Structure 1
Amino acid sequence: MNPKAEFDIIVYGASGFTGRLVAEYLAKAYGVGGAVKWAMAGRSAEKLAAVRDEIGAPKETPLVVADADDPASLKAMAERTKAVLTTVGPYQLYGEGLVAACVAAGTDYLDLCGEPAWMRQMIDAYGAKAKETGARIVFSCGFDSIPFELGVFFLQETAKARLGAPVPRAKGRVRKMQGGFSGGTAASLKATMAAAAKDPGVVALLMNPFALTPGFEGPAQPPGMTPELDADLGVWTAPFVMAPINTRNVHRANALLGHAWGKDFVYDEMMLTGPGEQGEAMAKAVAQMGSSMLGGENAPKPGEGPSKEEREAGFYDVLFVGIAPDGRQVKVSVSGDKDPGYGSTSKMIAEAAVCLVKDAAEVPGGIWTPGAAMGNKLIARLTGKAGLKFEVEAG
């Protein structure tokens, strides 16, 4: 973290759809120039000023001009703040220059990345330098993967309290979800597929559940690619389109925590579709939809998104089941009060940035997951401010 910085947080990409939501949230939750000193950044001062006025932020909200194609502007931005919160993706196209600038300046970095192959490349290229400079680089601070990574963290804390030890087997099961994935998520998937077509090494990383834990390979993990009956819950499950990034982040969190959940830890994610023949039919239908769940040709483009009414009507509810070696179980849930891809995501990354700067000064430099870096401190902010609930369930 940059101790001499002018700002606590700069929101880079504030004139884009998600960045605008982040800025709007910070303006309402923290004002300007108060306990959290933040600024809006993007390529055009005129666009930033227009967005500032549209979201009702104060006229004195600082504006910073920076462009992913201009390394000097990224360097200047990174040197002015304790943390850069960036919504400018796909990160494999626009992110590395900012990561490099933040690492060099010792400035914290947070993003919404769901691109595991690029994240591994950044870990390999900048992980050691970030430790040297004190920069905390935190990927995946939105719906991918905070509710899932922190859900497993909360599950394991609950298991330690109730069962006396963490569990070696955990399941993430999406029970309910309304609201789509973001245009940025869809664009990231498209960019990842293009990169995979050019580089077989990208394909290998995408297939490896331990792609984000260099130097460590754990046990075989459930593939999660086909519909199946969950014997522990008695209901059918279908593949969950975000499992390929969430599961990697969960395994990285375990590694960053010194394998606190065990080197034999097994975790998978699926969607619950219900019991009996109807549940089976629904599971098969969801599996056939595949990545079209991201919206296909109808997905919002980066910079576009749902109306305020649609965001307000959205929600999600994820069940986590932990199974001890003796068969005992513990269950917790994580839920959010807005649509996953925009309304909830914008609040999550904003509070993650505030938490990192204000509550987690002791966290050393390096490339982190949100849960491994901030754990219970982030859960407290998300439940207190961002509309998430972390609850222990009976049974």
Structure 2
Amino acid sequence: MQSTKEFDLVIYGASGFTGRLVAEYLVKQYANDRSLKWAMAGRNQAKLAQVRDDIGAPADIALVIADADDATSMQNMLDRTRLVLTTVGPYQLYGSELVAMCAQSGVDYVDLCGEPVWMREMIDAHQTTAQDSGARIVFSCGFDSIPFDLGVFLLQELAKQQLGATVPRVKGRVRKMRGTFSGGTAASLKATLVAAKQDPNKMQLLLNPFSLTPEFQGPEQPIGNKPYFDAELGTWVTNFIMAAINTRNVHRSNHLLSYAYGENFVYDEMLMTGPGEKGEAIANAVAADKSMSGDKGPKPGEGPSKEEREAGNYDVLFVGIANDGQQVKVSVSAELDPGYGSTAKMIAESAICLIKDALDTKGGIWTAAPAMGNKLIKRLVANAGLTFKQE
């Protein structure tokens, strides 16, 4: 059915650091695609116009004034678009009303959220409304958690083909990562910890690996917060800061896929630091690092230079283990800074995939794998510089 909306997607927060990168990506990647109608939204018209000019966007790219403190302006934005792509976080501070309005209005939504307690609150509050309105709401469409969610999804698809069934155990192991976590990620972590310390129920949700699967509790999961030597992989491994959100999203994907990975599915993520004494020393140093919850690092709206973003990369290995010991291995990698450069491309392609390719995905609150699956993998490989391969 042809949409009567003025825009396919609106970037909400386009004058912020990450929103600007998303707009820049659309200008570059989709310059010749006249079928994609998009706009830039935010509170300040002058800032939006400046970003539009700075990134070389066409002068006719629409600027939409939308302020979270002005519900009328937000509704006006939703009335004009099929999908809102929002980079305005921490979402628990600035996103709740937008999710509610999208769910009510039948408007699709993608974000960069890494805040599992808030996500669970949104699921509880708006899942039924989104199902009824047809709004497809997809959280965590950046480095958390697309490479991990889709990496496990692809591994399980290959396991079905090669072993005849999905595997009950998957290890996610970050082999290489160079780049900066975003200021938004750090701010989200701090806001999450503050909220959890004030409310025991939120703390319980934060610690529960099945916090995003209402009414389902699977088997005990590895905690992954202490370094150890993984003899099978021949390397020391240590805690990976994004595991607390990625593992929750992977379990939600399994839940939304009707437990295609099995009801006894076990999944964890660790950072590989290498063999020997050097590997052990790095593992211990990473485990002791508390900088993400401190005041150092980029603030929301700040980030690395273009050169730093382009020098970044990441490579994640997924090892699937069947009950009889047979293994399937998949890797997901990209040659860009994970927290900014690659994230901007991933959320843009998620938005376009949702409105152009995943047309049979029904309303509700989703993760990327069940909402878009192989269609999104195909887009990320073709356009966003990601590589998915069997090892």
Q: Answer yes or no: same fold by TM over 0.5.
A: yes
Map 1:176-187 onto structure 2 (within 5 A).
176-187=176-187
Map 1:1-395 onto structure 2 (within 5 A).
3-31=3-31, 34-289=34-289, 291-292=290-291, 294=292, 296-393=294-391
Determine if contact 2:189/2:293 at 8 Å carries over to the other structure.
no
Q: Name the SS for the 2:125 alignment partner.
A: helix
**CA distance in structure 2 between the partners assigned to 1:57 and 1:28 by the alignment:** 9
Can you list the C-alpha shifts for 1:189-221, whole angstroms capped at 9, x where unaligned?
111111112111110011000000001000000
Alpha-carbon distance, 1:155 to partner: 0.9
Superposition RMSD on alpha carbons, in Å? Answer: 1.3
Alpha-carbon distance, 1:278 to partner: 2.2
**CA distance in structure 2 between the partners assigned to 1:378 and 1:116 by the alignment:** 22
Between 224-233 and 42-51, report the one with greater CA deviation.
224-233
Determine if contact 2:190/2:293 at 8 Å carries over to the other structure.
no
Letter in 1 for 2:306: K
- Give the TM-score of the pair, scaled to structure 2: 0.98
Alpha-carbon distance, 1:297 to partner: 2.1
> Residue 100 and residue 33 in structure 1: after superposition, are their counterparts in 2 closer, same or farther (change >3 A)?
farther
Can you list the C-alpha shifts for 1:198-247, whole angstroms capped at 9, x where unaligned?
11111001100000000100000001010112232121100000000000
Letter in 1 for 2:148: F
Alpha-carbon distance, 1:2 to partner: 9.8
Determine if contact 1:5/1:82 at 8 Å carries over to the other structure.
yes
Q: Name the SS for the 1:322 alignment partner.
A: strand
- Give the TM-score of the pair, scaled to structure 1: 0.97
**CA distance in structure 2 between the partners assigned to 1:240 and 1:47 by the alignment:** 36
Can you list the C-alpha shifts for 1:64-114, whole angstroms capped at 9, x where unaligned?
000111111111111111100000000000001111111111000000000
Number of equivalences = 391
**CA distance in structure 2 between the partners assigned to 1:32 and 1:112 by the alignment:** 27
Determine if contact 1:32/1:61 at 8 Å carries over to the other structure.
no
Can you list the C-alpha shifts for 1:35-56, whole angstroms capped at 9, x where unaligned?
2110000001111000000001
Alpha-carbon distance, 1:33 to partner: 7.4
Unmatched runs of 5 consecutive residues or more in structure 1: none
Can you list the C-alpha shifts for 1:339-386, whole angstroms capped at 9, x where unaligned?
000000000000000000000110000000011100000000000000
**CA distance in structure 1 between the partners assigned to 2:341 and 2:377 by the alignment:** 18
Q: Name the SS for the 2:295 alignment partner.
A: helix
Alpha-carbon distance, 1:11 to partner: 0.3
Between 82-91 and 275-284, report the one with greater CA deviation.
275-284
Letter in 2 for 1:370: A
Q: Percent identity, aligned pairs only?
A: 67
